[in-house]
Chains A and B, each alone.
Chain A
Amino acid sequence: MLHIVNKSPSERNALDSCLRMAKKGSTILLIEDAVYAVTKGSTVESKMKAAMAKDIHVYALWPDLEARGMQDTVIDGIKQVDYPGFVDLVADNKNVQSWL
């Protein structure tokens, strides 16, 4: 399953709820303001690392990272995709949930 999160982790609880529901082997894509969750040294870093350690694949949409100037401090192990990569993630997962 693909989980899409678009909320800043310091403003809303969408990422926390997503992490509570994401099963082993599932994928999380961070877009829009959620890309702030991939920042090295932030308080969210440990949560993201814990998720990846649970075999959850974490991606961030790089056009959104770049728009916000956050492209140089991405936590190791988080993969970056562009819009065509976003399309592939949706196609490759059997269902998709947007954590609005």
Chain B
Amino acid sequence: MAGQLTIAKALNDALRKSLENDPKTVLMGEDIGKLGGVFRITDGLQKDFGDSRVIDTPLAESGIMGTAIGLALRGYRPVVEIQFDGFVYPAFDQIVTQLAKMHARALGHVKLPITVRIPYGGGIGAVEHHSESHEAYFAHTAGLRVVTPSGAHDAHWMLRQAIASDDPVIFLEPKRRYWDKGEVGDAADLGLHDARIVRPGTDATLIAYGPMVKVCLEAAAAAEEDGRRLEVVDMRSLSPVDFATLEESVKRTGRAVVVHEAPVFLGMGAELAARLTERCFYHLEAPVLRVGGYYAPYPPSRVEEAFLPDLDRVLDAVDRALAY
């Protein structure tokens, strides 16, 4: 497996390994069988594991989620594919009222080791409901774990760790990065909920996750030409958040800019800004700034570039942070 893989292939391989390692692991979703999923993440898996392990479902998201819960109660370890971000809402009720809470309601007597894979985010020129970033809804719901890889290695190992977890995990896949290649190592080098400093720096910390990590790395590379050394932290996990790594970085650089695609208002950045301000107040040289989507429905694709944070918007925020 080791070598250069696309994120899509790394995910496919992670699913394959998980199916091989545990006969109780089953995949469920729309079009995941013969078609291999609309993004081909499950390509070839039904052929090799059969249609009782890789289950093509009726087109009903609440039904997929609710029956996955039932299968988990019977001892299975379902991995659910939601076809696109905007299609998860019909399953939202099952996710927040049942999946997230059943372990607590049963005082720990039942476990729901379910992974919900959702291709999320924009930048692929799609029609509406195919580009949304809804991570804050899930991270806001106690009982769920929420993670998102930004590269192939993490895509592979985080998915395997998510499937092995005894808790429900919302696994957000940055769909615009599916075809980006990266080296996949032989083992997970971090825990599922550890953040990673992907580029060290001294002048300010860019905090990002999923699709925005690449944008931030590009911004940091561009800033270096101006003599600014930006640190980039890939959060990887949105619930729980690895605050220790974030704090350590922000205390060192004194400045933080949080970048995500979701609307800024009440998004992940709001929580990060509040907590980092509480914890790093005497180390901060500037307020924690946020760059993200606007408080508007995700726009038609011809104007999505204006909605999505890009290198310039990130650097503009860095300028503002450094101007304090």
The answer on A and B forming one complex is no
Give the B-binding residues of A (Cβ under 8 A): none
